[in-house]
């Protein structure tokens, strides 16, 4: 551990928080938004990461049978765009879709959002990065933890080395690089130096700092949820070490009360909320209120449906007519549900 990091680790949490807040204010506007991760499957061919719900799917359900429909995926991208949510990343289980299918979905997602998106589908070889490059701004390595011993235990079939190669390839292509880090897997505070070195080595642009969600049936069922202070400590350490790093804090619907602390620690935005299911509910209103409590203006909406010509939005997509019909049908199902959840704005 270098002397600076050692000194930082000695300081009190309040002092660290204050410094992290000051660094954040110097480098970013006082706003935040919700980042949506759009999933394309609920199964994965790796399937043995010890914390992941995808490793706990029924044995008779083959990963390739867990694909979400393309219509549902595109409908969600449309909702996200109109609600002003950032797209955290497009993701799902490893090996579930073919490169052709991924490329098609990326093309349409790019057409919907009018921007290049983050992609998180496991380690991607350079040849495929080149293929996906017109539609992606960067790749996300779902690294989860960078302590080698802990990583080998938590992700036995998902080594770090292929992600490290992907980061090098992405850099060569001018793509941005993001990673994930889950607080609560068993790391110790001493591991912060390993994380800092990793971010520095691969010039990581963005990190998603989650708090463990103990999933029934996994190794972590019954494990302690990391406290808000613990999650905030990691965020604050990273904010102080990397003033310009984009740091996302993963929260969960029952953890809204930790939002002000995580934002004060220097997180840019919030993610990991069931935003469609919770849209317009008291929980969603609380989320927005908690961001404002931290002195941040909330960009986008989790509470009021935007006005949009939804049919026209679908009509302009370059997909075949039968798929357009399906996207519209799915979109209206989502909108009906979102409206029911206490929202009275026009569709
Ligand atoms: S590779 Fe990703 S999706 Fe698959 S089991 Fe591991 S964490 Fe879950």
Dist CA 212 CA 329 (whole Å): 35
Ligand 1 pocket, mutate which of 47, 61, 141 (most atoms under 8 A from CB): 47
Q: How many structural domains are present in the chain?
A: 1
DSSP secondary structure string, 61-113?
S-GGG-BPPHHHHHHHHHHHHHHT-EEEEEE--TTSS-HHHHHHHHHHHHHHH
Q: Which atom of ligand 1 lies closest to the CA of 48?
A: 5
Query: Is 158's C-beta closer than 6 angstroms to any atom of ligand 1?
Result: yes
Q: Does residue 24 lie in a domain region?
A: yes
Say if 65 falls within a structural domain. Answer: yes
pLDDT higher than 50, residue 123: yes
- How many Å lie between the centroid of ligand 1 and the Cα of residue 253? 22
Find out whether 338 and 305 touch, Cβ atoms under 8 Å.
Answer: yes
Does residue 50 sit within a domain? yes
Q: Of 42-56, 279-293, 317-331, which range is least confident?
A: 42-56
Q: What mean pLDDT comes out for the span 119-140? A: 98
Q: Rounded mean pLDDT of 18-31?
A: 98
pLDDT for residue 347 = 40
User: Between 233 and 11, where is the model more confident?
Assistant: 233
- The closest alpha carbon to 341, from 285, 300, 299, belongs to 285
In whole angstroms, what is the distance from residue 141 CA to residue 146 CA? 11
306 lines ligand 1 (CB under 6 A): no
Asked if residue 317 belongs to a domain, the reply is no
Q: How confident is the model at residue 25 (pLDDT cuts 50, 70, 90)?
A: very high
Confidence (pLDDT) at 344 = 46
| HSE-up of residue 79 (Cα within 13 Å, Cβ side) | 32
Find the domain containing 280 and state its range: 3-304
Ligand 1, atom 2, lies closest to the CA of 93
Q: What does the alpha-carbon distance between residue 46 and residue 66 come to, in Å, rounded to a whole number?
A: 13
Asked, for residue 35, whether it belongs to a domain, the answer is: yes
Q: What is the arithmetic mean of pLDDT over 101-128? A: 97
- pLDDT over 60 at 345, yes or no: no
The pLDDT of residue 241 is above 50 = yes
In three state form, how does the secondary structure of 184-224 look? Answer: CCCCCHHHHHHHHHHHHHCCCCEEEEEECCCCCCCCCCCCC
Residue 263 belongs to domain with CATH number? 3.20.20.70
Query: Residue 331 pLDDT > 80, yes or no?
Result: yes
Let me know if residue 311 belongs to a domain.
Answer: no
**Structure confidence at residue 144 as a pLDDT band (50, 70, 90):** very high
- Separation of CA 79 and ligand 1 centre (Å): 26
Ligand 1 centre to CA of 43 (Å) is 8
Please report the pLDDT score of residue 342 as a whole number.
60
Question: Looking at the chain, which runs of residues are DSSP E strands?
Answer: 31-39, 86-91, 117-120, 136-141, 176-183, 206-211, 246-250, 269-271, 297-299
Residue 313 lies in a domain: no
- What does DSSP say about strands 297-299 and 117-120: parallel, antiparallel, or unpaired? unpaired
- For ligand 1, atom 1, the nearest C-alpha belongs to 46
Domain-embedded: residue 7:
yes
* Closest C-alpha to 234, from 275, 284, 200, 184: 184
From atom 5 of ligand 1, which residue's Cα is the shortest distance away? Answer: 47
């Amino acid at each position: 551990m270098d002397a600076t990091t050692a000194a930082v680790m000695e300081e009190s949490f309040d002092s660290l928080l204050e410094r992290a807040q000051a660094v954040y204010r110097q480098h970013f506007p006082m706003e935040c938004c919700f980042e949506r991760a759009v999933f394309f499957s609920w199964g994965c061919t790796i399937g043995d990461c010890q914390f992941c719900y995808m490793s706990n799917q029924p044995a008779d359900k083959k990963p390739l049978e867990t694909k979400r429909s393309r219509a549902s995926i595109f409908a969600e991208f449309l909702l996200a765009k109109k609600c002003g949510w950032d797209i955290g990343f497009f993701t799902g289980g490893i090996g579930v879709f073919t490169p052709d299918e991924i490329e098609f979905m990326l093309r349409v997602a790019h057409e919907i959002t009018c921007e290049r998106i983050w992609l998180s589908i496991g380690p991607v070889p350079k040849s495929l990065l080149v293929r996906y490059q017109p539609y992606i701004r960067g790749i996300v390595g779902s690294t989860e933890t960078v302590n080698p011993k802990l990583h080998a235990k938590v992700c036995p079939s998902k080594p770090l080395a292929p992600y490290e190669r992907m980061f090098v390839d992405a850099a060569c292509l001018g793509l941005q690089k993001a990673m994930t880090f889950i607080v609560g897997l068993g790391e110790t505070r001493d591991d912060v130096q390993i994380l800092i070195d990793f971010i520095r080595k691969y010039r990581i642009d963005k990190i998603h700092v989650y708090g463990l969600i103990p999933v029934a049936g996994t190794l972590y069922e019954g494990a302690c949820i990391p406290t808000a202070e613990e999650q905030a400590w990691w965020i604050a350490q990273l904010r102080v070490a990397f003033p310009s790093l984009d740091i996302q804090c993963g929260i969960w619907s029952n953890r809204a009360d930790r939002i002000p602390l995580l934002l004060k620690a220097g997180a840019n935005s919030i993610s990991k909320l069931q935003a469609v299911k919770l849209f317009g509910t008291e929980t969603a209103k609380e989320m927005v209120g908690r961001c404002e409590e931290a002195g941040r203006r909330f960009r986008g909406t989790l509470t009021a449906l935007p006005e949009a010509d939804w049919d026209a939005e679908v009509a302009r997509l370059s997909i075949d007519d039968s798929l357009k019909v399906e996207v519209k049908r799915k979109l209206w199902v989502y909108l009906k549900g979102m409206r029911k959840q206490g929202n009275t704005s026009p569709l």
